Copies of this chain bind each other. A is one copy, B any other.
Amino acid sequence: MSLKFALLGVLSMREMSGYDIKRQFDRAVHFVWNASDSQIYRELRDLEKQGLIASRTIEQTGKPNKFLYRPTDAGLDELDAWLTSPAEAPYGKDRFLMRLFFMGRVDPESAVAVLEDRREQVCALLRVAEERLLVFTDLSRSQHPDLLWWQMRLIEGFQQMHTAQLTWIDSLIQAVKGHDVEAD
């Protein structure tokens, strides 16, 4: 249900093959959405069967033929209907939060290790976001100025939320280490 809109969305920007979309997901949209190649191919076939996207075939030698997809009018309508529909309730499935929920079971050293692990992962995400923001800034005279505006705001929000997470993780690490010393 979500991949469907991710596909309609990226195809609304330009005509693409399944392979192109996979690359797009891995590079540009990675922190927003991702999917495996086999899932993308399957979903593209389904969407075409439903008449939400249409394809044209590029004959190739030495490689499999390539299918370039673009949304139909019905597809664009569905996309826009989804975009303006009331927001679904936030999911409430976060493996990391669940871990912390039970973290009292293990010794402080292990807990700190987990936190520092996460810290590094969040930093990595922030680095990717920063880089993306630069690319977008550079790309300012795009064919889709409105899309670009939202995408930059999105990355900024992403940065702000993850920076808040980082602050929190750091304070937790300090607290656990402090508590540790006290207990000695």
Contact = CB atoms under 8 A, between A and B. Distances in A.
A181 interface: no
Interface stretch (A41-49, A50-58, A60-68, A159-167): A159-167
A74 interface: no
A20 interface: no
A57 B57 CA distance: 62
Given A87-B117, A105-B12, A117-B86, A172 B146 contact: no
Contact of A87 (B83, B121, B153, B163): B121
- Most B-side CB within 10 Å, residue of A102, A153, A160: A102
Chain A interface mostly helix, strand, loop or mixed? helix
B153 A175 contact: yes
Q: How large is the interface on A (under 10, 10 to 19, 20 to 34, 35 or more residues)?
A: 35 or more
A183 to B, nearest CB: 11
A84 interface: yes
B121 A89 contact: yes
A90 B79 contact: no
A101 B154 contact: yes
Interface of A: 2, 5-6, 9, 12, 29-34, 79-80, 82-84, 86-106, 110-111, 113-114, 117-118, 121-122, 125, 144-151, 153-154, 156-158, 160-161, 163-165, 167-169, 172, 175
12 contacts: A2-B95, A5-B102, A29-B101, A83-B110, A84-B114, A100-B151, A100-B157, A103-B150, A104-B150, A156-B168, A160-B167, A164-B164
